[in-house]
Amino acid sequence: MPNGGDISFFFKPESVAVVGASPEPGKISNIILGNLIGAGFGKRIIPVNPGQASIMGLECLPSLEESREVVDLAVFAIPAASVPAALRRAEGKVRGAIIVSGGFGEAGERGKALEKEVLEIARKSGVRVIGPNCLGIYDAVSKVDTFFIPTDRAGRPGKGGLSILSQSGSFAAVAMDELAAEGIGAAKIVSYGNAVDVNESDCLEFLASDPETKAVVLYMESVADGRRFVEAASRCAAEKPVMAVKVGKFGAGAAAARSHTGAIAGRYEIYRAAFKKAGVTELNGYEEFQAACKAFGLQGRASGRRVMIITDGGGMGVGIADACHALGLDAAPLPRELERELKAVFPPYFSISNPLTLTGSRRTSPLPSRSRKTMASHYDIAIVAALWGRRLRTLSWYARAEAGVFREAHHNLLAGGRVFEVAPEALRAGPSGIHDARGRGARWPSSEGDDRRPMAERPR
């Protein structure tokens, strides 16, 4: 780490400057300025442009040198070749810089030389740098939004407990848009790009003690300092769940990573060992990343390992029970009290056990209030597997109903039981389709109800 120390000012700045601010709609700097204003960032916003008196009603500074105060965060949205000189002129006037410009280490030898120059300036001046070649920060709490993608192209999620760290800007933007569409909240989303200075280890150290972050998901192409990453990830994982998607594992992917962020991917086996040592759960691809975001963004961490399995297909229930056992979960038999209650109200062809098999004929909420509370008092996790029909209406509705039961029984869902709605495609994957006790791989009831169309095909 070139400079070390606190990076909290990136997320809770008292002032944000946009260097290269333009009044022209569609320009990257104009979008960033508009997003800061539109997000409701309540602190000082400073457009920096020597050729303009004001932009969007905000008074412009000709340069950061003219600022009477130290600016917490400056977003540099200017051509790569102009960045080193602009950063050098800002010495003593800026605490942190986000360089969204591309054309650095990912763009060949000339770009690598510019990136090296930026690093030297950062080391000398003490300015912390996120980027270059990144989107920067979206903070749902402080309303910092440096992503240069208009909100009509990529939605912004509301406040939640999930934080995402991504070397890839496009990955961060797609994830952000899908979280917003699914009604899943976020705490912080950081696109750190080429990571000339601030990297995933810095961010993990910060998020470990961030009270707004309840879980962390990383998208990684490379790590510059493996030992430091393991230390930072271990500290963070000791406080909250940490998960990672590692790309660029093999030949073609590693080559793509080099052209994307200038990353040197390294041997995949080393990353796997590092994840295991640090207590990081590895996610295999974007689908598992989505599942993890839904699990932690909507429900949080289960308080124990006792699992109740509810399904309308007996064979699938047995498969889920096997997968749970392989993952160290406890699909314990029904308590006798609950078994007696259910047998008294259910038809004889229902299988009253754990798994609880309702068969394909179930059409209404099956559990009386007393039985629901008994179930919730004995189990930490309910896995609801809907197997019949393309839209899975019966148990999709049931999963949402039983989520309410667990809320009632535990008063606060984040401190009590979890209801997982597992899609058939997850079950066909075997144990990897369900994953660990924290619900990774589960499919969740969403604000769209039973709409199972791909996100791109759903109405906005």
Q: Which amino acid is at 282?
A: E
Domain-embedded: residue 333: yes
12-16, 107-111, 407-411: the lowest-pLDDT one: 407-411
Domain boundary (133, 164, 188) is at 133
As a whole-number percent, the residues of the chain with pLDDT over 90 amount to 54
Task: Decide which of 307 and 231 is more confident.
Answer: 231
> What's 341's domain CATH number?
3.40.50
What domain range includes position 366? Answer: 302-457
**pLDDT at position 219:** 93
Domain-embedded: residue 242: yes
Q: By three-state DSSP, how is residue 197 classified?
A: coil
Domain boundary (133, 167, 193) is at 133
- The b/e string for 357-392 (b: 16+ C-beta within 10 A; e otherwise) is bbeeebeeebbeeebbbbbbebbbbbbbbbbbeeeb
Please state the rounded mean pLDDT for residues 102-118.
94
| Helix (H) or strand (E) run with residue 230 in it | helix 226-239
pLDDT band at 342 (very low <50, low <70, confident <90, very high): confident
Same domain, 271 and 330: no
Could you read off the pLDDT of 171-221 as tens digits, one per residue?
999 999 999 998 899 999 999 999 999 999 999 999 999 999 999 999 998
Could you read off the pLDDT of 288-302 as tens digits, one per residue?
888 888 778 776 566
Same domain, 285 and 374: no
Same domain, 113 and 209: no
Same domain, 436 and 340: yes
**pLDDT at position 356:** 87
Could you read off the pLDDT of 391-414 as tens digits, one per residue?
444 333 344 444 444 444 332 222
**pLDDT at position 360:** 62
pLDDT band at 386 (very low <50, low <70, confident <90, very high): low
Same domain, 289 and 354: no
Please state the rounded mean pLDDT for residues 221-229.
90
Q: Return d(Cα 440, Cα 288) in angstroms, integer.
A: 7
* Average pLDDT across the chain, whole number: 80
What tokens were used for 274? 């590092």
Are 95 and 9 in contact by the 8 Å Cβ rule? The answer is yes
- pLDDT for residue 372 is more than 80: no
Could you read off the pLDDT of 246-280 as tens digits, one per residue?
988 765 444 444 444 444 445 888 889 999 999 99
Q: By three-state DSSP, how is residue 87 classified?
A: helix
In the block, tokens 């394909």 appear at 360
Number of structural domains in the chain: 3
Q: Return d(Cα 117, Cα 352) in angstroms, integer.
A: 69
Domain boundary (100, 133, 166) is at 133
Q: Return d(Cα 288, Cα 294) in angstroms, integer.
A: 10
Per DSSP, 280 falls in state P
Domain-embedded: residue 68: yes
As a whole-number percent, the residues of the chain with pLDDT over 70 amount to 75
Same domain, 307 and 417: yes
Same domain, 337 and 385: yes
pTM, full prediction: 0.75
- pLDDT for residue 417 is more than 70: no
Please state the rounded mean pLDDT for residues 133-158.
97
**pLDDT at position 408:** 40
Domain-embedded: residue 149: no
> What's 86's domain CATH number?
3.40.50.720
Could you read off the pLDDT of 54-88 as tens digits, one per residue?
999 999 999 999 999 999 999 999 999 999 999 99
- Nearest CA-CA partner of 365 in 405, 414, 406: 405
**pLDDT at position 250:** 60
Domain-embedded: residue 140: no
Same domain, 163 and 258: yes
DSSP letter string over 330-375? B-PPPPHHHHHHHHHHS-TTSB-SSSEE--TT--S----HHHHHHH
Domain-embedded: residue 162: yes
Could you read off the pLDDT of 92-102 as tens digits, one per residue?
999 999 999 99
